[in-house]
Structure 1
Amino acid sequence: MAHLKRTLSLGAVTLFGIAYMTPIIVLGTFGILADTTQGAVPSAYLAASIAMLFTALSYGKMAKAFPVAGSAYTYVRKSISPKLGFLAGWAVLLDYLFLPMAIWLIGAAYLHSAFPAVPQPVWVLAFIAVTTAINIIGLQLAKTVNGVLMLLQFLVLAAFVGLAVHYATGELNQPLWSLAPFHQDGFQLPLIMSGAAIACYSFLGFDAVSTLTEETHEPRKTIPRAILLITLLGGFIFIVASYFVQLAHPGATFSNPDSAAYEIAKAIGGDIFVSFFLIGLIVGQFTSGLSAQASASRLLFAMGRDGVLPKRWFGRLSARFGTPVISIVLCGIVALLALRMDVTTSTSFINFGAFLAFSLVNLSVIFHYWIAQGERGLKAATVYLAFPLIGLVADLWLMASLDHMAIYLGLAWLAMGCLYLLVITRGLRQQPPEMHFEEA
């Protein structure tokens, strides 16, 4: 059986997850969130952070119980049922397969706006080619590239926040600390939750690292810690950054919400800073796409190695590089759909798959610890029952807060998964192929 090498430490795994999150995306989506929440972006990120924290705790508990690759697919299959586990994997597959495409398409759109003479498909192909090559060579190279590019990304984000503070306290004469960015004309919970449902797009990195379990030192300790660290650090960055940007631009009035950050960047830093901001945003998209493709390929490898997907294609590692080359290339091929799609279409249903998988992982904690292992007592009732239930309710609420098109597309993908499940189980008369992971 093929095995992945253990080369990743807590710091490397945490960096991988933060890179997946793309912290600078808080600026790229600021206008959309401000428009949705009517000028209360920090509140949306606060609500999203709370919801994701409970789900992250559930992922940490399940990663400790089953320290193997496969993420939600493995957790649900082993704790609830093989059939439901397959559907969890199918939901995650929606998220992971289409996320790189959306990331690269967003980056290409920004580059095309800056360099209109270069056709957008050229930028898309460049993103796909470079990230695919790096991921094929291996995560050690990807880790090095992520470290360098993450530093640049944080520098741009820090400069943006610093200029926002200077502009808000100087030009606008705003107090440094205020509740105004959290609510403009009264707190409207439905609007905040709609914004939080969009903001959760930025938190997908915490669950992505669970697919790297088999490449991590001491995964029973490292992965749960990394998951919690990534969620806390990401939430802190998003809330603080959005607070100061909202302080510098009160309300939700923009020439174009989709490019609101450009408008704000010009106001607080002038034309030169706009160029630096563009560089930082593109760097963020590149690092996020690199991590997203790596995670998607590991999920395909986990499913293919044990026959859920054709083992001949997906369950093999390159003899030269030790990476799942076919799965990595497939992610690049799927991303070619970006040549014929727009950003809205490509991103509309990604969060549906994420919320469905998150909900099932919260249920897995209850089934594994509370029901199967019979954990009891006040601590067990809190950690293995109350917290997962809070995470479950929060995820379902966020799913219901998505726009209708996202829900319809997500349900269509889920229906396709149910049909495939009927085929491989011969009408549910047998279990889907079992994935035998070797635990740490």
Structure 2
Amino acid sequence: MAHLKRTLSLGTLVIFGVGLMTPIIVLGTFGILAQSSDGHVPMAYLAALVAMLLTAISYAHMAKAFPVSGSSYTYVRKAIDARLGFMTGWAILLDYLFLPMAIWLIGTAYLNSAFPAVPPFIWLLAFIALTTVINILGLKIATAVNVLLLLVQVLILAAFIALCIHYTLGDPSRPLFTLTPFASGGVQWSMIMSGAAIACYSYLGFDAVSTLTEETHDPERNMPRAILWVTLIGGLIFVGTSYVVQVAQPSLQFANVDSAAYEIAKNIGGDVFVSIFLIGLVIGQFTSGIAAQASGSRLLYVLGRDSVLPKGFFGYLSPRFGTPVGCILLSAVVALLALKMDVTTSTSFINFGAFLTFILVNLSVIFHYWIGQKRRGLKALVLYVLLPLAGMAADLWLMFSLDANAVELGLSWLAIGFVYLTYLTGGLRRQPPELTLEDAI
């Protein structure tokens, strides 16, 4: 019988998580965030970092308590209730199923802007095909590709930052150090939180690495550290980069808000750098797509292995590659919906599912440590009650900052999941099927 192989170290986990975040996406979405936050992109990223860090701490606690794949689905199922765990897994499927699609849509949009003669679906199909093949071959190959591509995009991101600083220093009227990108007169915090709700899309790498627990060496020690490191590194990159770009480009006027970074790249580096930037952005999307598809397929595998989804298909591992081939292929098929969807619609799904899941993971910390294990004392009160409650409050605020379409789409998906859960449990009278912890390892 095939099993997931423990091949990942702390370093490779961090690389995988940061790769999924796609550091260069801070440039790709800069125009959208600049308008939604009224020119306070760094503050939007900082607000998102606080919320995500609080939630990442809860993920770290739960990853240590339950060192198996399944991420939030496993945490809530084990700590609170199997039926609520199912709904958590159903909600996070919004994230994992649609995240690769959103990633490839962004890459396709930029390639189409540079090569309008090529039909967009050609780029989209190429993204899907290449990442699917790499993930089927296994995580060792996927990780090696990620390391190389992550290095390329980091170098281009560094060049972008350097050119922004050079551009700012060349204009004496623009101070390099200013608090205006974080707060200014008449700033509307509702707009900043609206921007933060969008910015959270970039932080999802910390959550995705938790699905690779069963392929990690010493997961009780390495997984919690990886989750926190990925969150902090991503936050530093997003806040720092957006600050430098905001100072260099304080105006909110762009010819196309969806490709604002393209205009900024041309202003600070000319036509040659625009081409280099485009290559870096596309490489970043490809890197992130590999990691997103790998994580999503592992969650589907765990749901299938537990017979929550049909086990014959979802719980199957390739004897040759040791990877959930069927789940990987399914994610590729779902991504084909991108042919009829746009980035806004797909990310709306992702944000709603992510925030709902984060709230439940924070709640699971309280149930597992404070209620279940009866941890007491000041340290336990802070770690297992106050911080999770703060994380829940932050996630709720971000959820209510989403537009109405995101909430409607998310609630519709949850309704479908609840109907399936009712069928699976005979009207909620019994728990969904689950695998013992010992068998899962």
TM range (shorter): over 0.9
Match of 1:217, as an amino acid? Answer: H
Match of 2:75, as an amino acid? Answer: Y
Cα separation, 1, equivalents of 2:356 and 2:199: 16
Cα separation, 2, equivalents of 1:246 and 1:184: 13
Query: Shift of residue 108 of structure 1?
Result: 1.1
- Out of 159-168 and 253-262, give the one that drifted further: 253-262
Cα separation, 2, equivalents of 1:435 and 1:153: 40
1:175 matched residue in structure 2: 175
Match of 2:38, as an amino acid? Answer: Q
CA contact (8 A) 1:39 1:183 kept: no
Describe how 1:11-410 pairs up with structure 2 within 5 A.
11-171=11-171, 173-410=173-410
Match of 2:356, as an amino acid? Answer: L
Match of 1:14, as an amino acid? Answer: V
CA contact (8 A) 1:184 1:251 kept: no
Query: Shift of residue 340 of structure 1?
Result: 1.7
CA offset digits 1:247-297 (Å, max 9, x no partner): 001142222211111111111111111111100100010000000000000
CA contact (8 A) 2:2 2:322 kept: no
CA contact (8 A) 1:172 1:248 kept: no
RMSD of aligned Cα (Å): 1.1
Query: Shift of residue 399 of structure 1?
Result: 0.3
Structure 2 gap ranges (5+):
none
CA contact (8 A) 1:308 1:435 kept: no
Match of 1:76, as an amino acid? Answer: V
CA offset digits 1:71-94 (Å, max 9, x no partner): 000000000001100000001111
Cα separation, 1, equivalents of 2:355 and 2:341: 23
CA offset digits 1:350-397 (Å, max 9, x no partner): 100000000000000000000111111000000000000000000011
Match of 1:241, as an amino acid? Answer: T
- How many residue pairs get aligned? The number is 440
Match of 1:252, as an amino acid? Answer: L
Match of 1:209, as an amino acid? Answer: V
Query: Shift of residue 427 of structure 1?
Result: 0.8
Query: Shift of residue 2 of structure 1?
Result: 4.2
Match of 1:204, as an amino acid? Answer: L
SS in 2 for 1:431: coil
CA contact (8 A) 1:20 1:292 kept: yes
SS in 2 for 1:27: helix
Match of 1:276, as an amino acid? Answer: I
CA offset digits 1:136-165 (Å, max 9, x no partner): 000000011001000110011111111111
Query: Shift of residue 177 of structure 1?
Result: 1.5
CA offset digits 1:104-134 (Å, max 9, x no partner): 1111111111111211111111011100000
Match of 1:154, as an amino acid? Answer: V
Query: Shift of residue 432 of structure 1?
Result: 0.9
Cα separation, 2, equivalents of 1:174 and 1:388: 41
CA contact (8 A) 1:363 1:388 kept: yes
Match of 1:51, as an amino acid? Answer: A
- The normalised TM-score by structure 2 is 0.98
Matched, 1:417 2:417: yes
CA contact (8 A) 1:83 1:431 kept: yes
Runs of 4+ off more than 4 Å: none
CA offset digits 1:213-263 (Å, max 9, x no partner): 000000000000000000000000000000000000114222221111111
Cα separation, 2, equivalents of 1:253 and 1:436: 56
CA contact (8 A) 1:69 1:299 kept: yes
Match of 1:130, as an amino acid? Answer: L
CA contact (8 A) 1:59 1:227 kept: yes
Query: Shift of residue 186 of structure 1?
Result: 3.0
Cα separation, 1, equivalents of 2:38 and 2:209: 33
CA contact (8 A) 2:52 2:231 kept: yes
Structure 1 gap ranges (5+):
none
Query: Shift of residue 178 of structure 1?
Result: 1.0
Query: Shift of residue 172 of structure 1?
Result: 5.2
SS in 2 for 1:88: helix
Query: Shift of residue 185 of structure 1?
Result: 3.6
SS in 1 for 2:301: helix
Cα separation, 1, equivalents of 2:184 and 2:39: 6
CA contact (8 A) 1:135 1:294 kept: yes
Query: Shift of residue 349 of structure 1?
Result: 1.9
Match of 2:102, as an amino acid? Answer: A
CA contact (8 A) 2:110 2:259 kept: no
Cα separation, 2, equivalents of 1:424 and 1:214: 27
CA contact (8 A) 2:30 2:260 kept: yes
Distance 1:172-1:120 versus aligned 2 partners, 3 A rule: farther
- Out of 392-401 and 176-185, give the one that drifted further: 176-185
- The normalised TM-score by structure 1 is 0.98
CA contact (8 A) 1:297 1:331 kept: yes
Match of 1:87, as an amino acid? Answer: M
Match of 2:398, as an amino acid? Answer: L
CA contact (8 A) 2:206 2:228 kept: yes
SS in 1 for 2:181: helix
Cα separation, 1, equivalents of 2:377 and 2:437: 31
Cα separation, 1, equivalents of 2:133 and 2:326: 12
